[in-house]
Amino acid sequence: MSRINTKFGKELKRYGAVDFNKCYNCGTCTAVCSLSTGEDSFPRSMVRLSETGDKKGVESSLKPWLCYYCGDCSVNCPQTADPGELMMSLRRWLTAKYDWTGLSGLFHRSGLANIIAMILVAVGVIVYSFTQSFDQEGIMHFAHLFEMYAIATVFAVILLPNIIRMWYMTVVKPGYKVPFKAYYKSAGELFVHMFTQKRSLGCDDNQARWFAHFVLVIGYLTLLFTTVFLDWFSNESIFVNLLGYAVSAVVFIVTFVFVLGRIKQKHQVSKKSRPSDWFFVIWLFLMGVTAFFVKVFIDLEILENNFWLFLLHFTILVQWAVIIVPFGKWTHFLYRSFAMYFDKLRKSVPAESAKK
Amino acid sequence: MQKEPITLTYDAIVIGGGIAGGEAALNLANNGYKVVLVESRLSVGGKMIMLSKVFPTLDCSACITTPKVSEISRHPNIKIFTESDITSIDKLGEQSFVVKMTQRPRYVVAEDCTACQLCEQACPVIVKDQFQYGLVGRKAVYIPFSIASPKVAAIDIDNCTLCGACEKVCPPGCIDFTMKPKEYIFNVKTAIVATGFRLYDPTNVPRYSYGTAKNVITSIQMERLLAPTRPFHTILRSSDGKVPDKIAYVLCAGSRDDSMGNPICSQICCMYSIKQAQLLLGALPMADITIYYIDIRAFGKGYDEFYEQAVSMGVRFVKGKIGKITEKENGNLTLRYEDVATGKLKEAEHDMVVLSVGVKPNKEAADLFKSHKLELDGLSFVKQSDPLLSPAKTSIDGVFVAGAATGPKDIPDSILSAGAASTEAISYLNQKSQ
Ligand SMILES: Cc1cc2nc3c(=O)[nH]c(=O)nc-3n(C[C@H](O)[C@H](O)[C@H](O)COP(=O)(O)OP(=O)(O)OC[C@H]3O[C@@H](n4cnc5c(N)ncnc54)[C@H](O)[C@@H]3O)c2cc1C
Ligand code: SF4
Ligand code: SF4
Ligand code: SF4
Ligand code: SF4
């Protein structure tokens, strides 16, 4: 039985989508989308589910993750219903749905909540440093440990349960009986997508954007690796030192270019940036820059007199680790990769046995 | 250059010689008023005279337009000026308008030309024929089309090389390269604007490949292919002469689409596409005709039945607006669309694609009026100041509007509105003169 649920539309509006009710179902968006296929046709199908308020349909759908927001559909929509922005909002909504803590939803909807959380974290770092009487060695050591534990905890307590919830909503609940073998047979898909986001290459004239993304992902992961596992700040090896400099520079330069793009609003994608989009790029940028200069200061042996810089870097790091990574846009990157994986799993089930 | 403009007096001026302007002029003339009809092209008849058959009756368009046109041109109360541009219209007071007009030279003495076409045969210059919408070529000296009125040759001086070949062969010697533009001043009491519409230019939508893919044509080109006076006497792809057997119609091409710059429904394209599909099945009984649509809008009397008739003849209707048209090496076209009924993205191959182009306003009408402002609506069609009760009234008292100048209209509606405009004009003439 189908019933129109107009409340869902109102809910979605809080995640950014405002115009999708103008849609008159012409299918142009699907026809111009270079990622849409006969098997996975979108975005009109998602516009339809949103218009009618079919929450279950949206919840179990992986299509929002197949879209890379090139904006072609929005540019060509006869009704200016902005289907691309709807897809983006659905990703935000799904992120909120997968997250058991409910914080993702809050941060996606409200800029204020983001700011309050950021301030609280900053205050926390300052209070902690105060109790340590701003002892440089102790705080730097703690910061290093914190990074490792934070990564482990965020992953175990938040991201992993959320991915399991996503799996439940998109694979188990809709009734796909995926054979066990398929799980490891498709695992390769997961990693390839995670590192390359290769699907977005299918977008027309998107090669440059894809490459920038790819460089950023690799840069970010390498920076994480150099600071956490190679302990860049205290490492003496020339190679590690240079690597650290290089990757932190890559991270802040590429993010700078992205921020410029958002400000100029050149691409359709950037026309409707939300607070969470801004936080993501700006913090990535700040992380890169501060890491770079902390290391410069260490190497010039002037960090002692400029310890505020390290505290700034540490604050940004904590904000990134406890707010943006578990609840912000970073998760999109994770869910996207898993969506490809789950999609492959669902397709491994013969059509007749997959119950609708 | 002529020294003094020729000054003439009429009761009414009708601007635009399409079916609406023609009908309005005839109504006025039959009621005893003297009318001057000004047409900017070489022939009167507007779009209608170029059509094949007309929905929903499938009457031959030429066969019903030509008698009407000849009635207008022979009427003692009507004076027609073709190839003429109005430069200004000033209202001095009620029932007093002054119109300035320039008639461009044809370089052929109209009264003497017998339409023997010898000049066409002699002329060495070939250019695209605008009256056949670029499907074929014509000469620099040419008779606009076989049922043109007046049926008189004209020289397209921009493309003419002044070789004089036509002049040598013309039996009555009516070619005159020294002709100059002629200036006129008309004193009239009322005016009817019947400037019609423009067709949407599909080169605005690069993803439809019009102009780059050879076998993507517009609906008006298809009208020409189907018309009794058609250029090839059969339906074929003008690029390679192949008779098409899988033809697609793309509805709402440049209508109901903000991204294409025209948000409104053009009202006629669903119906003329259905008409063309039926005519095509008559001409090519084995062909597959598919109409890709968003909605089928068949609102008039007998229109829905006309649509049902097409369905029962085997025309395929697919809900989904075409997103992209790509040309294949053999000239066939791949159409990408979402089959909205199943929700699946699909691709289909056709050997000919017809874009059912929409209706756009002819903004020029407003520029003609100098002393008073002829208001346009939000989409730049002539604004009706009282669309419900006096649909022919404009923002200027004594100026009325007929036909597609106010927005998309089919022929029955254009004729009706011409009736309304001429009636309003007559009561304006009577009321105020007492
Ligand atoms: C492909 C196609 C198929 C169609 N098929 C059908 C059908 O089957 N049945 C049906 O009912 N309708 C059909 N129509 C619609 C029909 O063409 C219109 O309803 C009709 O032409 C409107 O007549 P009009 O006189 O208002 O405008 P037009 O036909 O546009 O005539 C306007 C005239 O004014 C002249 N003009 C413009 N500006 C000036 C100026 N400034 N000074 C002097 N003259 C000027 C123009 O040159 C033109 O001759 C079809 C239309 C198209 C495009
Ligand atoms: S292009 Fe726009 S109007 Fe058409 S189906 Fe997509 S969202 Fe709806
Ligand atoms: S934004 Fe691009 S990828 Fe996403 S649905 Fe629209 S056209 Fe497809
Ligand atoms: S201009 Fe002369 S040659 Fe040409 S059609 Fe007229 S009469 Fe014939
Ligand atoms: S008449 Fe039909 S094809 Fe034309 S704009 Fe309206 S809906 Fe589209």
The CATH label, of 1.10.10.60, 1.10.1060.10, 3.20.20.70, 1.10.167.10, for the domain at A6-98 is 1.10.1060.10
Question: Of the given ranges (A94-103, A139-148, A270-279, A331-340), which has the lowest mean pLDDT?
Answer: A270-279
Mean per-residue pLDDT, B262-266: 96
Pairing of strands B59-60, B53-54: antiparallel
Q: Which of A163-167, A268-272, A333-337 has maximum average pLDDT?
A: A163-167
Strand order across the beta sheet in which B316-319 lies = B216-218, B352-357, B246-253, B288-293, B316-319
C-alpha–C-alpha distance, residues B77 and B391, integer Å: 26
CB B142: neighbour CB atoms within 10 A?
Answer: 24
Query: B260 to chain A: nearest residue by CA?
Result: A78
What confidence score (pLDDT) does residue A261 get? Answer: 72
C-beta of residue B2 within 8 angstroms of C-beta of residue B183: yes
Measured between CA atoms, how close is B263 to chain A, in angstroms? Answer: 8
Pairing of strands B352-357, B35-38: unpaired
C-alpha–C-alpha distance, residues A205 and A226, integer Å: 33
C-beta of residue A38 within 8 angstroms of C-beta of residue A49: no
| Residue A219 predicted with pLDDT over 90 | no
Bridge partner residues of B262 (DSSP): B257
- Across the interface, of A31, A44, A79, the residue whose CB is closest to B258 is A79
Place of tokens 């979402």: B338
List the structure tokens of A152.
């482990």
C-beta of residue A98 within 8 angstroms of C-beta of residue A169: yes
| Residue A265 predicted with pLDDT over 70 | no
Query: A76 to chain B: nearest residue by CA?
Result: B259
Query: Would the CB of B322 count as within 6 Å of ligand 5?
Result: no
Name chain B contacts of A36, Cβ cutoff 8 Å.
Answer: 338, 345
C-alpha–C-alpha distance, residues A291 and A278, integer Å: 20
| Residue A98 predicted with pLDDT over 90 | yes
What confidence score (pLDDT) does residue A271 get? Answer: 62
Measured between CA atoms, how close is A32 to chain B, in angstroms? Answer: 5
List the structure tokens of B232.
């090839």
C-beta of residue B234 within 8 angstroms of C-beta of residue B240: no
How far CA B397 is from CA of A58, B188, B356, B423, in Å, comes to 58, 14, 37, 14
SS3 B90: strand
> Mean pLDDT of all residues in chain A?
87
Q: Render pLDDT for B142-160 as a digit per residue (tens, 0 to 9).
A: 999 999 999 999 999 999 9
Q: Render pLDDT for A284-293 as a digit per residue (tens, 0 to 9).
A: 899 889 989 9
Q: Render pLDDT for B394-426 as a digit per residue (tens, 0 to 9).
A: 999 999 999 999 999 999 999 999 999 999 999
CB A266: neighbour CB atoms within 10 A?
Answer: 11
What confidence score (pLDDT) does residue B15 get? Answer: 98
| Residue A135 predicted with pLDDT over 90 | no
Range list of β-strands (E), A168-289:
none
Q: Render pLDDT for A100-112 as a digit per residue (tens, 0 to 9).
A: 999 999 988 888 8
Q: What string of DSSP letters covers A72-135?
A: HHHHH-TT---HHHHHHHHHHHHHHHH-TTSHHHHHHH-HHHHHHHHHHHHHHHHHHHHHTTT-
Q: How confident is the model at residue A356 (pLDDT cuts 50, 70, 90)?
A: very low
A-interface mutation test, from B259, B265, B326, most A Cβ less than 10 A away: B259
| Residue A254 predicted with pLDDT over 80 | yes
Q: What string of DSSP letters covers B315-383?
A: -EEEES-EEEEEE-TTS-EEEEEEETTTTEEEEEEESEEEEEE-EEE-THHHHHB-SS---B-TTSSBP
Position in ligand 2 atom list of the atom nearest CA A73: 1
Query: A36 to chain B: nearest residue by CA?
Result: B345
Bridge partner residues of B264 (DSSP): none
C-alpha–C-alpha distance, residues B146 and A54, integer Å: 60
What confidence score (pLDDT) does residue A2 get? Answer: 66
Cross-chain residue pair A38–B336, CB shorter than 8 Å: no
Cis status of the peptide bond prior to B150, with omega within 30 of 0? yes
Name chain A contacts of B254, Cβ cutoff 8 Å.
Answer: none
Tell me how far the alpha carbon of residue B47 lies from the centroid of ligand 1, in angstroms: 4
Tell me how far the alpha carbon of residue B47 lies from the centroid of ligand 5, in angstroms: 18
Q: Render pLDDT for B65-82 as a digit per residue (tens, 0 to 9).
A: 999 999 999 999 999 999
- Could you tell me which CATH class the domain B6-104+181-196+362-433 is placed in? alpha beta
Question: Of the given ranges (A21-25, A228-232, B227-231), which has the lowest mean pLDDT?
Answer: A228-232
Q: Where are the domains of chain A?
A: 6-98, 111-347
Mean per-residue pLDDT, B190-209: 97
**pTM for this model (two decimals):** 0.91
| CA end-to-end span of chain A | 13
CA-wise closest residue to A221 among A318, A330, A339:
A330
| Residue A228 predicted with pLDDT over 60 | yes
- Cβ contacts of residue B411 below 8 Å, gap of 6+? B19, B48, B54
Domain with CATH 3.50.50.60 in chain B: 6-104+181-196+362-433, 199-359
List the structure tokens of A164.
């399991």
What confidence score (pLDDT) does residue A202 get? Answer: 67
Q: What string of DSSP letters covers B178-243?
A: T---EEEEEEESEEEE---EEE--GGG-GGG-BTTBTTEEEHHHHHHHHSTT-SSSS---TTT-PP
Q: How confident is the model at residue B321 (pLDDT cuts 50, 70, 90)?
A: very high
> Mean pLDDT of all residues in chain B?
96
Amino acid letter at B171? P
C-beta of residue A247 within 8 angstroms of C-beta of residue A230: no
Mean per-residue pLDDT, A161-173: 95
Longest pairwise C-alpha distance within chain B: 72
Closest residue by Cα to atom 3, ligand 2, is A23
- In terms of pLDDT, which residue wins out, A209 or A189? A189
Question: Of the given ranges (A221-230, A314-323, B318-327), which has the lowest mean pLDDT?
Answer: A221-230
Cross-chain residue pair B337–A79, CB shorter than 8 Å: no
Bridge partner residues of B248 (DSSP): B290, B353
Closest residue by Cα to atom 48, ligand 1, is B46
Q: Render pLDDT for B135-144 as a digit per residue (tens, 0 to 9).
A: 999 999 999 9
What confidence score (pLDDT) does residue B433 get? Answer: 52
SS3 B12: strand
Q: How confident is the model at residue A352 (pLDDT cuts 50, 70, 90)?
A: low
C-beta of residue A183 within 8 angstroms of C-beta of residue A345: yes
Taking the domain B105-180, which CATH number applies?
Answer: 3.30.70.20
Q: Render pLDDT for B84-132 as a digit per residue (tens, 0 to 9).
A: 999 999 999 999 999 999 999 999 999 999 999 999 999 999 999 999 9
Taking the domain A111-347, which CATH number applies?
Answer: 1.20.950
Percentage with pLDDT > 90 across chain B: 96
C-alpha–C-alpha distance, residues B165 and B244, integer Å: 39
C-beta of residue B215 within 8 angstroms of C-beta of residue B352: yes
Question: Of the given ranges (A78-87, B231-240, B373-382), which has the lowest mean pLDDT?
Answer: B231-240
C-alpha–C-alpha distance, residues B279 and B58, integer Å: 9
**What is the homologous superfamily of the domain B199-359 according to CATH?**
FAD/NAD(P)-binding domain (3.50.50.60)
- Across the interface, of B295, B321, B344, the residue whose CB is closest to A28 is B321
- In terms of pLDDT, which residue wins out, A141 or A210? A141
Domain with CATH 3.30.70.20 in chain B: 105-180
